Amino acid sequence: MRAARDAALPGAVARALPLLDPAARPAEPDVAHGYLDLLDGAADAATGATQRLMLSRALPVVYDRWWRPAWGRVLKGPLGGGMRDEHRIARLLLGLTPGDGVLDVACGPGSFTREFAHVVGDAGLAVGIDVSATMLARAVAETAPGTVAYVRGDAVALPFRDASFDAVCCFAALHLFADPDLALDHMTRVLTPGGRIAILTSCRLRSAAGRAAGDLAGAQSGMRVFGPDEIVEGLERRGYAEVRQRIAGLAQFVGGRLAA
Ligand SMILES: C[S@@+](CC[C@H](N)C(=O)[O-])C[C@H]1O[C@@H](n2cnc3c(N)ncnc32)[C@H](O)[C@@H]1O
């Protein structure tokens, strides 16, 4: 009965269901909006002003074209590279190959997730998870049907089984989460041994003035501003090897491979 119902779901969503933690798997999957809604229609809770924008109807419409490139420029500075460079770094850090399973945490409107789906191909699976219904609606509208499984859920309590993905990406979002450390624990938990992680997040300057400015900016925006060593050390503590970091202005890219 359940098998017949699952087979009727959009292609990638049906393939993602077995990756769900049994406790998170709904008896009647809600895919009415083209993504699997695990928040049961609950209202989105915002962690601050920036996340409130992510939940709005307006931002997803201008996000890929205007908002995201502009914010990237502000954070990374004039020499920090554009969106094309970010996609290149994500590909490099994740080292995806056809057949891989990849999770895009806080996927927003899915521009990275779609690219990952293209790389892993039909033999692999790309899953994008985000808490914002409006971002996911945009992602679904922009994605060829059945190629990506989008899930509405919380990055701080990832609803997937242990060791269910070969790679996990979290770009431009860790600083928005209510508990970034717990989110990193979950990302690590769902990775297979030897799996790769790629993170793009905030980075404050090393000076005392930089720390003060970071604290102020964080308080105004509701975003956490991470120290320059915080994410690297956080990954090493969780058992990642080959941890690499590139700092660009007030942003940092960090990648690593979970010990096998
Ligand atoms: C700036 S966007 C980043 C989107 C995409 N990763 C990118 O690089 O363009 C941040 C995303 O994080 C999502 N987000 C924030 N808190 C979240 C949480 N606790 N769980 C899942 N998604 C969350 C927001 O809804 C938003 O779509």
Give the model confidence (pLDDT) of 213-252 as tens digits.
667 776 677 789 999 999 999 999 999 999 999 999 999 9
Six-digit token string for 213: 């400015």
User: Average pLDDT for residues 112-140, to the nearest whole number?
Assistant: 97
What is the gyration radius of the CA atoms in the chain, in angstroms?
18
**E strand segments, the chain:** 36-37, 101-105, 125-130, 148-152, 165-171, 191-202, 240-248, 251-258
- Of all residues in the chain, the percent with pLDDT exceeding 70 is 90
Q: Ligand 1: which of 47, 66, 132 to mutate, most ligand atoms within 8 Å of CB?
A: 132
pLDDT at residue 88, rounded to an integer? 96
Give the closest residue (by CA) to ligand 1 atom 10.
Answer: 173
Burial class of residue 84 (count of CB atoms within 10 Å of its CB; 0-12, 13-18, 19+): exposed
Mean pLDDT, residues 38-60 taken together: 78
Domains of the chain by start residue, with CATH: 2-258 (3.40.50.150)
- Alpha-carbon distance of 138 to 142, in angstroms, equals 6
Reading the block at residue 137, the tokens are: 């609606």
Residue nearest to atom 14 of ligand 1 (CA): 106
Q: Which helix (H) or strand (E) holds 205?
A: none
SS3 236: helix
Query: Distance of CA 28 to CAs 17, 40, 89, Å?
Result: 11, 11, 38
Residue 54 in contact with ligand 1 by CB distance below 6 A: yes
